[in-house]
Structure 1
């Protein structure tokens, strides 16, 4: 039997638009380079495809410079997909753009109607529960509405809190397998992962915490050698992807795909 937390047959991605320099960012560390980001995105898609998965590649959306970060727009579970309600006003329109692709893949597609907000970057699905981190983009009302939907599908949802100054819960953590989480020390110190096996990213390599386990691979941002070596020692097959330009828009590995 496959493990729905990391064994996937499909993914949805969206190619970056030439308007990416207009994307949101917590601090300005320079504009992303469109050509470099497009090349890195191609390497990311190729890595997903190398596992045998089908990758649905959507067209760029010039009107939505953050739209390549498709993960924030939906939560994909075995029972169905839930369209999110982003906390950033400029991203609200992305949800209607992703909906047709999800409806083509799922019989059941529901959505967060509000008034609350919730983004996929704050949601970590483990082997035993759905962890949702409250953040600047995800509020109590959004978490409550998602909990009602997922409980009807038989999932246990637990609300946790994202550290101050961290954009999304998954900025600081990722799932390596059903019971193992890669996390920063600051997030693990909150106690939210009690009972799990937790691997810490190397000190000074906190940005490496946003990775994805996709079938046999762990995709992580390049440039974090000690964390990559640790994951290799732990028996994971690591693929490093250039994340330089996505990072300028607060993006990482998980943001770039919906996996199901």
Structure 2
């Protein structure tokens, strides 16, 4: 297996703006019923997230313009899995979302990453679906959540792409996505929700891995998705849900000593099943190509 640098070293964040069609579902306006969202508030929260990544963490920000024809394209994490110099362009479960990959593919190429296409219509990829919000990379291995949006064939494509790393599949309960119930909180720390489904997934992950991880448990499921980045100044940053959204989890984050904690609101995106990490793709490039 590859011996890579610890998880968390990034130089760029790629994001996609919130379109005016935010809240509508690609292809079927009736899916999941009508969810009441505040577009202006969502755009403000997106601005706070991108501002934190650029100004506080110090990442170079690449922003793809919003596209009203792609109402879910702001969930950019779903359409690529990036490790090292390789970007796997995924195949979202909904056919209507598959055109979201074009702009992301272009940015990955401009960053001089090796772009691997996941074409679900040919060869070993027939029937494969894979979304980044079901993938947890720990710096040592991948865990792929088998959910309503990601299947085992998709996990096999990921394993074939990143052959230097172990890839384990775990079922995700209750229609959730893997990154909704857990995320990285440091090079050796996984943040987990305290829900029964999350505990079940954690037990399975512990059985599948050869590595030891510290587990930081949070009482609110929404708090389990964070963004951990080791900044260019070697400081540890954690973007997490603020006290007004997850009041019971604040004390858990404060256990992370010497971290710079960045409370980041995500209430509007979370109404649509998304989370903080859904809104960005993190890339580690030693050189800038823009």
Q: Same fold by TM-score, threshold 0.5 exceeded?
A: yes
Pairwise CA distance, 1:250: 0.9
Name the structure 2 match of 1:142. Answer: 154
Q: Secondary structure at the match of 1:251?
A: coil
Alpha-carbon RMSD across the aligned residues, in angstroms, is 2.0
Q: How does 1:1-260 map to 2 (within 5 A)?
A: 3=5, 5-23=7-25, 27-28=32-33, 30-49=35-54, 50-114=56-120, 115=126, 116-151=128-163, 154-166=164-176, 168-185=177-194, 186-190=197-201, 191-194=203-206, 195-202=212-219, 205-215=220-230, 216-222=236-242, 223-235=245-257, 236-260=259-283
Post-superposition CA distance 1:163-214 (Å, at most 9, x none):
1321x11010000112210011332333134232111111xx1111111102
Question: Hey, what's the Cα distance between the residues in 2 that align with 1:161 and 1:239?
Answer: 31
Q: Secondary structure at the match of 1:63?
A: coil
Pairwise CA distance, 1:29: 7.2
Change (3 A) 1:4 1:85: farther
Q: Which runs of 5+ in 2 are unaligned?
A: 121-125, 207-211, 231-235, 284-290
For the 8 Å contact 1:73–1:83, the answer to whether it is kept is yes
Name the structure 1 match of 2:233. Answer: none
Q: Which runs of 5+ in 1 are unaligned?
A: none
Question: Hey, what's the Cα distance between the residues in 2 that align with 1:3 and 1:177?
Answer: 13
Q: Secondary structure at the match of 1:127?
A: coil
Larger Rg: 2
Q: Structure 1-normalised TM-score?
A: 0.92
Pairwise CA distance, 1:31: 2.3
Pairwise CA distance, 1:106: 2.7
